């Protein structure tokens, strides 16, 4: 049965259709609002705006639920591989054995990068941030693969190419930044093992692949694989809506993710924890600062637009962080600071009233440090994990028969019309 909400204004009434999602989420369809009333809606930051119908990821911020294609993220983090999760997100269902094998073969076949790319990396200024480099290089990939990307088969290859090559490119970028020889991908290694080997293997010290490290990376990437219409994913969809190629759309997602309020928070958390330690370790003082309305400082790794309870990903990340450090017999003083900070913040009335809990970035940096990833590459690690989600969301939006270019409106608050005054008369 069709349901409607009634909008009453200026003595008139209009019926706006109600939309209900498969988990009971409700929305008002305002697509005819302007045509019928002349009004637009105003929703800064889109906090109340659904930009699309999507069947990829479900999250309930009040209950702390996250599911990819219906499967709880907790189950995937325990039982699935990153490759299988990527397949699930992109194709909408778990692969059977043959499909997974074919996908693995395709990833291996596409994992090498053109040697000319090396020259690009070498010419970035030394101070370049890895996220700026990654965003530029993913865009540059289109020049190496100028196919039209219109046929389904071409699109499938482009999607696989991105998953396979961006991983190689990230490791290659790190090696070049250190002045080391590039390590090529090895087909006998898993997706996660290959990345670690390309990052850390050297002719002098062969990389020893440790089960717990591979597992930590697997979980890290699965937890980051998608998160519905966040800032970077919305960028991918919005840029993609102009029917730009997939490389350019993903490049825009990487640029958005770089920001410290989004994926860049994982780097910002470690910088914050380090600073707390350097300044004597007073966590209570930093929590006090975060509450001060006259101070723009925020507790990094805390708070979320959607989660008003503990981020389910942060729960898994925290547990995994403890287990990893214990099994590797690592003592990281930043972990003690993080725990103390969390304890103080979670008891504080400001954080309780504002529903501010640790998000995924709060403990993820400590995991990445234990794996050996340099701090300025943390957000690149997030981007590698988020690739399947961005690809799935781009695919879903481009497959949508009701696809429209994204073009929000505004309420103009500038000057009303006035006449140009020539320079000599001003
Ligand atoms: N520290 C202190 N106060 C905070 C924090 C924080 N980390 N986060 C939100 N608040 C407060 C705000 O000051 C505001 O208070 P007020 O209502 O009294 O003015 C209230 O909580 C709501 O904050 P908004 O900024 O309106 O919330 P929004 O949903 O727009 O922002 C965001 C969400 C950007 C994540 C925010 O919580 C934040 O800046 N967190 C720190 C950065 C961070 O960790 N980002 C990673 C997010 S996860 C991800 O993208 C992968």
Question: Is the shortest distance between the CB of 385 and ligand 1 below 6 Å?
Answer: no
| Best residue for ligand 1 mutational test, from 303, 341, 350 (most atoms within 8 Å of Cβ) | 303
Q: Of all helices (H) and strands (E), which one includes residue 14?
A: strand 12-20
> Residue whose CA is closest, atom 34 of ligand 1?
261
pLDDT per position as a tens digit, 180-230? 999 999 999 999 999 999 999 999 999 999 999 999 999 999 999 999 999
Question: Is the shortest distance between the CB of 365 and ligand 1 below 6 Å?
Answer: no
Q: Of all helices (H) and strands (E), which one includes residue 27?
A: strand 26-28
CA dihedral 303, 219, 221, 77 (to 10 degrees): -80
Q: Of all helices (H) and strands (E), which one includes residue 8?
A: strand 4-9
Question: What percent of the chain has pLDDT above 70?
Answer: 99
Mean per-residue pLDDT for 270-275?
Answer: 96
Domain co-membership, 115 together with 209: yes
In which band, very low, low, confident or very high, does the pLDDT at 148 lie, cut at 50, 70 and 90? low
State the SS3 of 350-366. Answer: HHHHCCCCECCHHHHHH
Highest mean pLDDT among 140-149, 172-181, 242-251: 242-251
For residue 15, give the CATH number of its domain: 2.20.28.60
* Residue among 381, 323, 16 at smallest CA distance from 174: 381
Query: Final residue of a domain: which of 60, 76, 104?
Result: 60
Q: Taking 90 as the threshold, does the pLDDT of residue 96 lie above it?
A: yes
Domain co-membership, 36 together with 119: no
Please state the φ and ψ torsions of residue 15, each to the nearest 5 degrees.
-100, 125
Domain co-membership, 116 together with 240: yes
> 349 C-alpha to center of ligand 1: Å?
16
> Residue whose CA is closest, atom 41 of ligand 1?
300
pLDDT per position as a tens digit, 156-192? 888 999 999 999 999 999 999 888 999 999 999 999 9
Look at the chain and report how many structural domains it folds into: 3
Query: Final residue of a domain: which of 371, 394, 414?
Result: 371
pLDDT per position as a tens digit, 279-306? 999 999 999 999 999 999 999 999 999 9
- Residue 361 is among the residues annotated as catalytic for this protein: yes
Burial class (CB in 10 A: 0-12, 13-18, 19+), 410: exposed
- Residue 304 is among the residues annotated as catalytic for this protein: yes
Please state the φ and ψ torsions of residue 12, each to the nearest 5 degrees.
-105, 165
Q: Taking 90 as the threshold, does the pLDDT of residue 404 lie above it?
A: yes
Domain co-membership, 158 together with 235: yes
Q: Residue 36 belongs to what domain range?
A: 4-60
Q: Taking 80 as the threshold, does the pLDDT of residue 151 lie above it?
A: no
Which pLDDT score is estimated for 47?
95
Q: Taking 90 as the threshold, does the pLDDT of residue 149 lie above it?
A: no
> 284 C-alpha to center of ligand 1: Å?
19
Atom of ligand 1 nearest to the CA of 47: 29
Which pLDDT score is estimated for 156?
87
Question: Is the shortest distance between the CB of 316 and ligand 1 below 6 Å?
Answer: no
The answer to whether residues 244 and 235 touch, using CB atoms and an 8 Å cutoff, is: no
- 405/238 Cα distance (integer angstroms): 7
Task: Check residue 5 and report its DSSP letter.
Answer: E
Report yes or no on 99 lying in a domain.
yes
- 16/14 Cα distance (integer angstroms): 6
* Residue among 271, 221, 262, 288 at smallest CA distance from 361: 262
Domain co-membership, 79 together with 164: yes
Q: Taking 80 as the threshold, does the pLDDT of residue 307 lie above it?
A: yes
What pTM value is reported for the model? Answer: 0.95
> Residue whose CA is closest, atom 19 of ligand 1?
293
Question: Is the shortest distance between the CB of 360 and ligand 1 below 6 Å?
Answer: yes
Q: Taking 80 as the threshold, does the pLDDT of residue 1 lie above it?
A: no
Domain co-membership, 41 together with 70: no
- 228/226 Cα distance (integer angstroms): 6
Question: Is the shortest distance between the CB of 262 and ligand 1 below 6 Å?
Answer: yes
- Strand 65-68 versus strand 57-60 pairing type: antiparallel
Question: Is the shortest distance between the CB of 307 and ligand 1 below 6 Å?
Answer: no
Question: Is the shortest distance between the CB of 76 and ligand 1 below 6 Å?
Answer: no
Which pLDDT score is estimated for 2?
86
Domain co-membership, 108 together with 240: yes
Report yes or no on 416 lying in a domain.
no
Domain co-membership, 299 together with 218: no
pLDDT per position as a tens digit, 24-50? 999 999 999 999 999 999 999 999 999
Domain co-membership, 218 together with 72: yes
Q: What is the mean pLDDT of the chain?
A: 95
Domain co-membership, 120 together with 161: yes
Mean per-residue pLDDT for 361-368?
Answer: 96
């Amino acid at each position: 049965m069709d349901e409607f909400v009634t909008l009453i204004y200026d003595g008139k009434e209009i019926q706006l259709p109600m939309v209900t999602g498969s988990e009971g989420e409700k929305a008002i369809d305002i697509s005819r609002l302007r045509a019928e009333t002349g009004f637009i809606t105003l929703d800064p930051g889109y906090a109340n705006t659904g930009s699309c119908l999507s069947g990829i990821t479900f999250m309930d911020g009040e209950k702390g639920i996250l599911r990819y294609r219906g499967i709880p993220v907790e189950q995937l983090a325990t039982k699935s591989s990153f490759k299988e999760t990527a397949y699930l997100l992109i194709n909408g269902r778990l692969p059977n054995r043959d499909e997974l094998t074919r996908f693995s073969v395709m990833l291996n076949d596409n994992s090498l990068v053109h040697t000319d790319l090396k020259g690009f990396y070498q010419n970035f200024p030394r101070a370049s941030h890895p996220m700026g480099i990654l965003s530029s290089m993913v865009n540059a990939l289109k020049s190496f693969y100028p196919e039209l990307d219109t046929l389904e088969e071409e699109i499938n290859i482009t999607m696989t190419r991105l998953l396979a090559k961006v991983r190689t490119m990230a490791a290659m970028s790190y090696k070049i930044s250190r002045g080391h020889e590039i390590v090529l991908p090895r087909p006998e290694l898993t997706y996660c093992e290959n990345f670690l080997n390309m990052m850390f293997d050297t002719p002098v010290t062969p990389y020893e692949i440790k089960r717990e490290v591979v597992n930590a990376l697997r979980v890290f990437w699965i937890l980051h694989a998608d998160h519905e219409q966040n800032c970077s994913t919305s960028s991918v969809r919005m840029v993609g809506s102009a029917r730009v190629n997939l490389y350019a759309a993903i490049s825009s997602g990487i640029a958005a993710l770089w920001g410290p309020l989004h994926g860049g928070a994982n780097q910002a958390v470690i910088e914050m924890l380090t600073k707390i330690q350097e300044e004597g370790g007073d966590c209570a003082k930093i929590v006090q600062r975060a509450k001060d309305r006259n101070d723009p400082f925020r507790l990094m790794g805390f708070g979320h637009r959607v989660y008003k309870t503990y981020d389910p990903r942060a729960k898994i990340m925290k547990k995994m962080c403890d287990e990893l450090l214990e099994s590797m017999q690592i003592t990281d003083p930043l972990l003690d600071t993080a725990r103390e900070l969390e304890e103080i913040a979670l008891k504080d009335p400001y954080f309780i009233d504002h529903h501010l809990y640790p998000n995924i970035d709060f403990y993820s940096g400590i995991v990445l440090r234990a794996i050996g990833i340099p701090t300025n590459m943390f957000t690149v690690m997030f981007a590698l994990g988020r690739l399947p989600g961005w690809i799935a969301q781009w695919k879903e939006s481009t497959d949508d028969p009701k696809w429209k270019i994204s073009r929000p409106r505004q309420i103009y608050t500038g000057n009303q019309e006035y006449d140009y005054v020539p320079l000599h008369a001003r």
